Amino acid sequence: MTESMEQYIRSLVEKSVQGVLADGTINSSRRKLVIGNWKMNMSIEESALLFEGLRGEEQACDVAVCPPFPLLYPVKVMLAQFQDSIALGAQNMHWAEKGAHTGEVSAAMLKELDCRYVILGHSERRQAGETDEEVNLKVKQALAAGIQPVLCVGETKDEREQGRSGEVVVSQLHAGLDGVEDVSSAVVAYEPVWAIGTGLAATPEQAQDVHRTIRETLANQYGASAASGVPLLYGGSVKPDNALSLAVMDDIDGALVGGASLNAVDFKGVIDGFTRG
Ligand code: PEP
């Protein structure tokens, strides 16, 4: 990045100086986590506007944003104003350490930019051909690099209608975590495919039901104590008006948010819901 580009980013940040998001406590054993998945959206200027709108709030919730690759560095610069209370994440990475993989990005590259999280196995990538085996290689590579994988699992509409939600999710979970001995840095996101970007969120009860299955599956594999420490996020049309009702469910520890993470009003509304839940 040229110096003038960096100055441009900093000038956007400095336009309005208010407070910053601050740490706090919540009345739950697991601190809630809200991650914004920007997908293929946002410009540098729109990112700055979003963060301007997020300033000045006290939050007792962990927050992260996952911009597209070209925005990772500009957003990293912008996040300095939040003094680590908003973390950076990426939307994908390659499973290889490095090498001849044109157009790909490695875990080491993300780590160098201080990415704390990387979304892996998102249904939009699975629909584009990503296999359970590739997701698993990526999960292991992310963990080896010290990045927390956000492993996405979820059933299609047909699979739900056939009563196969639990079976599909457990199978994706087993495959994604195959060979992972220590699950303490992993995050799991339950994202029913039929709820993503449709405005048709799972009900809190439907989501809790699958989250309980995920928790039990983790407990069987890693023990109850380790399983209880893994944040389980719900994703799929989370909005300010359904955030609280999802957040109060026992095994819903946060949200992976697409559309509502693109503007400050909605993202704040979701964060507020999970802060209170
Ligand atoms: C997502 O793509 O991860 C997602 C949950 O999208 P949305 O919130 O827009 O449904």
Q: What is the pLDDT of residues 14-58, one digit of tens each?
A: 543 333 333 332 334 578 999 999 999 999 999 999 999 999 766
* pLDDT score, position 14: 59
47 and 23 in a common domain = no
Ligand 1 atom closest to residue 124's alpha carbon, by position in its atom list: 2
pLDDT band, residue 10 (cuts 50/70/90): low
pTM over 0.85: yes
Ligand 1 atom closest to residue 37's alpha carbon, by position in its atom list: 3
Most ligand 1 atoms within 8 A of CB, residue of 92, 117, 150, 238 to mutate: 238
- 101-124: b (≥16 Cβ within 10 Å) or e: eeeebbbebbbeeebbbbbbbbbb
43 and 18 in a common domain = no
154 and 36 in a common domain = yes
239 and 105 in a common domain = yes
122 is catalytic: yes
47 and 128 in a common domain = yes
Structural domain including 245 reads 31-276
117 and 5 in a common domain = no
When divided into structural domains, the chain yields a total of 2
81 and 6 in a common domain = no
Distances from the Cα of 91 to the Cα of 105, 110, 152, 252, angstroms: 11, 10, 11, 21
Q: Please give the single-letter amino acid code of residue 48.
A: A
The residue behind tokens 């893994």 is 230
1 and 25 in a common domain = yes
Q: How far is CA 110 from the centre of its chain?
A: 15
191 is catalytic: yes
Q: Whose CA is nearest to atom 3 of ligand 1?
A: 258
pLDDT tens digit sequence for 176-191: 999 999 999 999 999 9
**Is the model's pLDDT at 107 over the cut of 60?**
yes
pLDDT tens digit sequence for 234-271: 999 999 999 999 999 999 999 999 999 999 999 999 99
The residue behind tokens 């157009």 is 103
Q: Please give the single-letter amino acid code of residue 177.
A: L
Please tell me the distance between residue 196's alpha carbon and the centre of ligand 1 in angstroms. 5
> Which DSSP letter does residue 248 get?
T
Q: How many CB atoms lie within 10 A of CB 130?
A: 17
9 and 99 in a common domain = no
* pLDDT score, position 4: 73
CATH number at residue 119: 3.20.20.70
14 and 36 in a common domain = no
117 and 6 in a common domain = no
19 and 156 in a common domain = no
Query: What values do phi and psi take at 176, rounded to 5?
Result: -65, -30
Tell me the mean pLDDT in the region 182-208: 97
* pLDDT score, position 59: 64
